[in-house]
Each structure stands twice: as C-alpha cells, then as structure tokens.
Structure 1
Amino acid sequence: MTEAIRAARILTMNPQCPEIRDGGILVREGRILAVGGWREVAGNGACRDLGPVTIVPGLINAHVHLELSHLAGRVPGGRSFEAWADGLFAAMRESRVTEAAMARAVAEARASGTCYMADVVGREFDMVRRVLESQGVGGFLFNEFSGRAREFCPRSLPRDWSPGVHALYSTDHTLARSIKEWCASRCLPFSLHLAEVPGENELFQSGGGEFADFLRTRRILPKGFAAPGLSAARFARELGLLDERTLAVHCVHLDENDVEIVAASGARVCLCPRSNRQIGVGDAPVAALCAAGVPLCLGTDSLASVPSLDLWQELRAVRALMPSTASLFDLLELVTRNPARALGIDADYGSLAVGKRAVWAVLPDDMQ
C-alpha cells in the first residue's frame, strides 16, 4: 500500500532542499517514493496527517552498550571515573543482562525517535541483534576486543558488523593494529574509545599517574605495556588506527595538537556528553573539533552511565558546547547525516530522500 504522510514542516537534512513547509512524504513498503510540498504528494496514496509538527530523519545513536541495559540506576556516578568503573565492575559481576531489560531500553529509544543504533557488544551478539530486529530498529554491531596479543581470527557473524577495540589502555597494541587492518581491508567501520579518561594521556606519555595505577591494580593494562611517550591521539595515529572509517568515541582529553591530528586523519568523533559528565571525565573540546572540521556524531553510551537512551537529551547537552554560530541543521547532523556516513549506511538513513527508508522523528518544541 502507498501512504502519503503530511507534516507542517519537514527538515529533510538534504542541503539542496533542507526545509519544506506543509510537506508530504510518499511511502511504499517502507521506502520513500517522493518528498515535497503536500500538494505534490496528496492524492497518491492513503493520507496520514501528523498535524502541526516538524519531522526530521530518524535519529542514529552512534555509540551504545545495550549489554549494560540491566544496570540502569545501579552504578553511582558524580565522582571519579575510577569510582564509577569499580561500581560498574561490581554490578556486572552480580548479574547479566536479560532480553527483557534490553528490549525495554531499545523500545524507549525507539519511542524518542531513534531508528538505528551502533552497539558495542561482547558476548551477547545474538541477543542484541534479536532485540533490535524485534523492535524494528536498525543496527550496526561493533564486536569489541580487548586484552592480550593473539592472532586475530574473528568468527563469522550475520549482517552489519565489524570488530572494534575497547581502548588502547586495555588492548594489546599489536591486536589493535590487526583489527584495524582487518576492517580496512574490507572497507568496514572501526570503533575505539579514545582519550576518554583523565590520566589517559599521562599513561601513554610516561606510564605513570593515578589512572595507570588503577589499571595495573585491576589487571586491565596489557602485559608488557610500555609507554610510547605520546598522547593517546598521537599513539592511535602512529598505530594506523585513525582514518575516515574510524569512529573515535568520547575524545574528551584532546589538546590543540591532538585535535589537528584527528582532523587530518579524517576520523569521525562520537561525543557522549551526558555520560562523560556522569562518570566524571569532563567535556570534550566540541567547539575546537567543529572549528577543525571534524565530523561529529552523538551516542548515549549505556544505561550504566546515563538515565535514558534518548538522543534528544544528548543533543540538548551538546548544544551548550557547540559554537554559537551552529545552526539547527548543524546540530541535527550529529544524529543523522554524520553517523550515517560514518557507519556506511547513508544509502538508507541520514536524510529524508527518495529511495531511503521511511523513518523519521518529531522535533521537540524546544529544539526548533
């Protein structure tokens, strides 16, 4: 059946036709047949009027840990990263995620406009895929690796996925390089947490500091670790981990030189502002990243560090960090066009255009 969807305003995220007043979208079998003024679309299918709302492309969450969905409200924050991490480890030892908890988290995200998630997954790959499909949410799964050096031989997994690295402080650097090379040889996205924690740069520059002590005490630092004498971003570059298919997550602790390194590499950065504040690591240098032309995305991280997977809340948090000249279009790019390109799904998602999936979200009144 063909359906004609009417809305008072459509923000397509297409620079050639960014805004349509009294607009319509013609949909058949979940794909967009036409986008334009209501007069152009009306009469071509069964009408559904959304009323006086503004619709935008369905939102894309570029970084989430659905395996931690059962830990909502169970990990205290507001202190230091080390205290939060210890609370997380304790909570993870007590229980494992259930499919019901994960389904609730995804359903709530979907209700707030999320249509696609890039999930960082460990052992519950099949559960994550099953829940996303049952909720009608698209998903790219980063199967995360950490720990010792070993020959990298990933198992065969279904549909959109690639291996990723937890962080350079928790993963042997030879293994990290092997994973990145495997992704690059297949033109697949690659994800890692980078420069998230206070003390991460000190660890790589000198091998010392409170964060280094924390990692050694809890046996997180790979055996035989030797400080390269570089910042986290510089070290990632030296290992060949940063390019246009890299999604570097958090990037809170970057100085001016680090920002230049990330920008020159073409890497995409995924910001998680609410999580960063909750776990005590600070705010990313968003204005500097914007000025350097780094493509930015947004992720919620997990329910162990944020109260919800609502990307509108994430946009409200990041808006205060954006340059004063940033437009609504600039802001919406962080959850539409930019993550779609970073994940290689822009043929289906990221804008409201002919041929793409017919998924949209309603713009909240305070964001207009």
Structure 2
Amino acid sequence: MSTALRLHAPIVVPCDPDCTVLRDAVVDVDERGRISYCGPREGAPPRGQGTEVRECSGILLPGLVNTHAHSPMTLLRGMGGDLPLLRWLREVIWPAEARLRPADIRAGMELGAVEMLRAGITTSAEMYFSGEAVAEAVLAVGSRVALGPAVIAAPGLEGMGSWKTVVADIDRWIDADGLRFGPADRVELGYGAHSAYTLPPEALRTIGESARERGALVQTHVAEAADEDLAQREAHGSVPALLDSLGVLDGRVLAAHCVHLSDADIELFAARGTGVAHCPGSNAKLASGTARLVDMLAAGIPVGLGTDGPSSNDDLDLWEEVQLAGMFARLSTGDATALAAPRALLAATRGGAAAMQRSDIGALEPGRWADVVHLDVDNPAFATGLDTSDEQLLANLVWAAGSRCVRDVWVAGEEVLRDREPTRVDRRAVQAAARTAAQHVRG
C-alpha cells in the first residue's frame, strides 16, 4: 500500500519495549491511516510523488493512552475539591451528575477531548453516562476512545437507568454497531461496571458474561479507598477475589486505581492478565493512598496511567501522571532507581495499550494506527538541545518537558491538532458550550 504521509523529525521515540531513540528518522503512514514504516530516514522505503511530507523540528512519539478517565466531568471541575473520596462522591458528585443531560455530557466530553489532545493524549478509556453523547463528542474532535457506559446502582442516580437496563442497552449497541466503529475504529465499546461497592454480585456476573461473549473490555474501579469495600472484603477476602469468583476476570478487564491490593490480589491479577490503570494524581488528591506500582510491574501486570476525572485531579494531563508515577514509586520504595524515565514513558504509551489489551495503539510500529505526537523542543526543557545522550534526552522528555511542549497531533494519520489548536472544532466555541452546560449542572 502506498505511503500517504511521511513525518520526518530529528528524534523519533517509537516506544518499543526498549524505549529506543531514533535519530534523523521518519514515520510513514499508509492510506488506511496505519504506520507502514518507522525508522531511520536513511533506508526508508521510496515514497511516491503523491506522498505528503511534513518536516517536524522536534520529537515524534506515539499518542499517549489515558487508561482511566471520566472526561465529561470537566463540567464539575473544582466541586468538592477538599473532600475524601466517598464524601466527595455522595455529597457532591453524584447529586450533580443526576442533573446532567445528554447535551451537557457531550459538551463536557468535547472539552475533555480537546484538553487531552493539547496534552498529546490520543486515546482515553472513558467510563461515563450517556455513551452515545460521549462517542459523538470524540468523533467530532477526532480523537479515540475506549468507552464503557457507566453501570452503577447508587443513591440519587436512579434516573440514569437500572443496571439491568444499561447492560442490555450496551449489549444491543455492540451487537448493532460492532465492538469498534467510526473512522479508523475511533470508538471501542465496552462495559463500565462502576465498582463492587455500587453494584450487586449479580450485576457484576452479568456484565462479565456479556463482555466475554462479545470480547469487550470491562472497566471497573477496584480498591481505590481503604474504606470503600469493607463489606466485600469481609465476605470475599478482596474485590479481586470477588470478581474472580464471578468469572469477571476471565475476560478483558481494566481495573482502575488498585491502591489497596494484597500480595494475593497482585498474583491473581497477574495470573488472569488483568490490566491496571494507575492514577497517582487523583489518588494523592483524594488521600486514597499510593498503588504498589513497582510490585505490580514486577509481577508482570500490564499497567497504564490514568488521569481519572478532571474534577478529582483536576486536569487531563497524562504527563503529570508520568512524573507522579515515577516520583511516588521512588518515594514509596525508598529507591531512586525504582522507575526510570524510559519505563515511566512506556507506561503512558505502550503500557496503556497493553493494559487495555490493544495492540493497535500505543507505539509507532508498522500495522498500528498512526496516532502521533510532535513535541516542540524550542523550550527550556531541552536547553541542552537534542545532540545529547539518549539517556539525557529521555530524562528531559519525562522529567522536564510536559504537555506545554505538545505542538501537533495526528490520529490515524489525520492532523487533529496543529500549533496546539484542534483542527476539527473551534476550541473557544467548545469552551463556551461547556460553560453553559456547567451553569445548568451547578444550578
């Protein structure tokens, strides 16, 4: 297949397992929007006359993968910001979410998708209400989503539908539109089983069966706060043990937070291939604790990074999570080598894809979607320039650069962010729509 787009840059970081740094390299994109070549410019395949060539001045790397988010909560940003998790949910968030309309959710998701593109995030795993509105927003902005419409049975949220109704709706949606749909498979459908403390075992068992039958991803909160699942732990030992007994872990599962896991829980997740979304920023802000990242990685659990919702973090910047993951891993172990810069970067890219059991995103490799981020190095973070060792370059990329360096973004070879502005939607109009929606929600 012919090359439709060639991106050339002095540095390409494809996020292969060794976190290799390529110099004077190109990324070729075919007509389907998939990568056909990533490597040194010398030795690249010949390009046709119709190939578009973009000369990029900085660093190219794969789009970041946000493995846990509730992005429409951009509308709720700043509400209850000084409360612990369970009080924050019950006293502030759930009452506010009960007032959400589908149009509000779409407005909040569009703003979240734009914010994430400006941070170099091309894929997010979303758990939220009104799944159709979330999907419409993502398709409008041009990013990518793994969508688990929220299934929850919590006081005040009865208007969102019973768990049986929501699960049946998801079943029908997947059966009608397929597991993935939209241009370049931008939307993946799954199940957002909120948690074991907001859903009865019958619901979790049913969700697990529906998801396995369809090969769908189940997203769920696990062991976020120490006091959220006391009844489940007393009855079953732990939430992972409960999920396993119900057959949920026999399918594709992405467990968010996982702060309070035992050694047995970690062994169980490793044995079942369960993915984990590590959310250090949100867990710190809500004083939930620090997940055992080093132990989970050592056990072979696929771990990605997540921002969580923008009202508990309070932004959608995965670069911050990369840094916090590294610092908290070092602080909790007392070992400054616990999580080196390359491994932290891989957690936000390749690791996130692996946690979702996706082999088509998260790296610049032939056959994967051409989700590419261009970082501007005309910035104090790269004061030493690019003519430095690979080790120092990756250190500057992880510890100093951040989202401020994101300049351009492509999803499936389509430029959806240029000079930090989205190409498909007007950012100011999106912000205005979100302000209007937020005023309605807050009353």
TM-score (structure 2 length as normaliser): 0.71
Counterpart for residue 277 of structure 2:
270
Q: Which among 13, 16, 20 is matched to residue 14 of structure 1? A: 16
Q: Does residue 397 of structure 2 align to residue 367 of structure 1?
A: yes
Q: Which amino acid aligns with 2:282?
A: S
Q: Which among 161, 164, 171 is matched to residue 192 of structure 2? A: 164
CA distance in 1, matches of 2:100, 2:117: 25
CA distance in 2, matches of 1:36, 1:330: 21
| Per-residue deviation, 1:98 | 4.8
| Mapping of residues 200-279 of structure 1, within 5 Å | 200-206=228-234, 228-243=235-250, 245-279=252-286
Change (3 A) 1:197 1:135: same
Secondary structure of residue in 2 paired with 1:73 = coil
Change (3 A) 1:257 1:303: same
CA distance in 1, matches of 2:163, 2:43: 59
Change (3 A) 1:41 1:4: farther
Q: Does residue 367 of structure 2 align to residue 326 of structure 1?
A: no
CA distance in 2, matches of 1:329, 1:134: 33
Secondary structure of residue in 2 paired with 1:313 = helix
Counterpart for residue 356 of structure 1:
368
| Per-residue deviation, 1:290 | 1.7
Contact 2:151-2:163 at 8 Å conserved across structures: no
Q: Which among 139, 148, 164 is matched to residue 145 of structure 2? A: 139
Q: Does residue 119 of structure 2 align to residue 89 of structure 1?
A: no
Gaps of 5+ in 1: 207-227
| Per-residue deviation, 1:17 | 8.4
Q: Does residue 193 of structure 2 align to residue 186 of structure 1?
A: no
Q: Which amino acid aligns with 2:37?
A: A
Counterpart for residue 124 of structure 2:
117
Question: Which protein has the bigger helix share?
Answer: 2
Counterpart for residue 175 of structure 1:
203
| Per-residue deviation, 1:107 | 0.5
Q: Which amino acid aligns with 1:73?
A: G
CA distance in 2, matches of 1:166, 1:115: 23
CA distance in 1, matches of 2:163, 2:339: 43
Counterpart for residue 80 of structure 1:
84
Counterpart for residue 393 of structure 2:
none
| Per-residue deviation, 1:306 | 1.5
Q: Which among 341, 346, 357 is matched to residue 354 of structure 2? A: 341
Q: Is the deviation greater in 354-363 or in 92-101?
A: 92-101
| Per-residue deviation, 1:246 | 1.0
| Per-residue deviation, 1:170 | 0.7
Q: Does residue 32 of structure 2 align to residue 26 of structure 1?
A: no
Contact 1:14-1:351 at 8 Å conserved across structures: yes
| Per-residue deviation, 1:99 | 3.3
Contact 1:76-1:87 at 8 Å conserved across structures: no
Contact 1:120-1:144 at 8 Å conserved across structures: yes
Percent identity over the alignment? Answer: 27
| Per-residue deviation, 1:174 | 1.1
Change (3 A) 1:332 1:17: closer
Q: Is the deviation greater in 230-239 or in 295-304?
A: 230-239
| Per-residue deviation, 1:145 | 1.4
CA distance in 1, matches of 2:278, 2:236: 26
Secondary structure of residue in 2 paired with 1:355 = coil
Secondary structure of residue in 2 paired with 1:247 = strand
Q: Which amino acid aligns with 1:170?
A: T
TM-score (structure 1 length as normaliser): 0.84
| Per-residue deviation, 1:352 | 0.7
CA distance in 2, matches of 1:33, 1:263: 33
Q: Does residue 132 of structure 2 align to residue 126 of structure 1?
A: yes
Q: Which amino acid aligns with 1:266?
A: G
Please give the root-mean-square deviation of Cα atoms over the aligned residues, in Å: 2.5
